[in-house]
Amino acid sequence: ASTFTMLSGRQIILVNGAKAGNIYWQVGSSATIGTSAAFSGTILALASITVATNASVNGRLLARNGAVTLDSNAVVAPLANEGGIVAGSTEGSGDRLDGHAEGGAIECFGSCTFNRTLFSDNDAFGIGADGVALGGAINADAASLTVRNTTFVGNAAHAGLSAPLDPTPTAARGGAIASAAGLFDVAFTTFANNASQRELLDLLATTSGGALYLTPATPQLIDYRLFASLLSGNSADLGGD
C-alpha cells in the first residue's frame, strides 16, 4: 500500500493461530495508527510512522527515511512461530549465517521522537558469523533521537549465537538503545533491568552497554544529553550501564 491509516479505537484481531511476529505491513510512504487503536504486526514504512496517543503496538515499527513518533504508547515484542531463532538474512555458502539485528522493537532513521512510551521485554539477537545485535528495544541510525517520560524495562541485546556455527565473534550493544545519532536527548526516562548478554558460553562474544550504547557516525558532531533519568539493574557481561 502507498499509505496506511488505522482509525482510532480499532483493533487487529488475530485468528486461527496467527501471530503478530509473522505479520508484515509494507507501506510505500507513511503509516499512522490512530488514538487508542490496538495494532499487531511489523510496519515496514518507506517514510514515517506516527502512533497516536494511547495506541498499543504488538510488533515492530521500522521507518526507512522518516521519523517514528510515539506518544503515550505501549510497544511489546511480537510472538512468532515456535521452534527457535531464525536468521534474518544469509550470506555466503553452506551454513554460514550473517544475522545483524537492529532494534528489537524499532529501527528508526531521520529524527526520532518518543514520549510517554513503554518498551518492555523486546529482544535483538545477533545470529551467525559477524552477527551483531544493536538495541534490544531501539536502534537509532538517525540525525537525532529524543526520548521523554518513557520506560525501558526487561529489553535485551543477545550475542554469541554463532558459537555452534562459526567461530567469528559476535557482539551485543545496547540492552535498551543503540544510537548512532548526532543528537541524543533523553530526559525523565527510566531504564530498568535491561541487558547486553552473551549466549551459549561463547567467550569470544562481546557486550557493551546494559542500557545504552552510544556511538555517533560522525564523532565531531556528538551531542549527548541525559537528564533526570534513572538507570537501575541494567547489566552487560563485559560492560555496564
Q: What tens digit of pLDDT does each residue of 152-198 get?
A: 999 999 886 554 555 566 788 999 999 987 789 999 999 999 999 88
Distance of CA 214 to the CA centre of its chain: 14
Q: What is the pLDDT of residues 103-112, one digit of tens each?
A: 888 888 878 8
Structural contact between residues 151 and 115, judged by C-beta atoms closer than 8 angstroms:
no
Q: Which of 107, 144, 133 is nearest to 207 (CA)?
A: 133
Q: What is the pLDDT of residues 43-72, one digit of tens each?
A: 999 999 999 999 999 988 988 888 899 999
- CA dihedral 193→199→201→203, nearest 10 degrees, is -90
pLDDT band at 226 (very low <50, low <70, confident <90, very high): very high
Q: Do the bridges between strand 212-214 and strand 127-128 make them parallel or antiparallel, or are there none, so unpaired?
A: unpaired
Express as a percent the part of the chain with pLDDT over 90: 44
> Would you state the pLDDT for residue 5?
96
> Would you state the pLDDT for residue 213?
93
Q: What average pLDDT does this structure show over 217-223?
A: 63
pTM of this prediction exceeds 0.75? no
> Would you state the pLDDT for residue 162?
52
Structural contact between residues 152 and 123, judged by C-beta atoms closer than 8 angstroms:
no
pLDDT band at 148 (very low <50, low <70, confident <90, very high): very high
pLDDT band at 27 (very low <50, low <70, confident <90, very high): very high
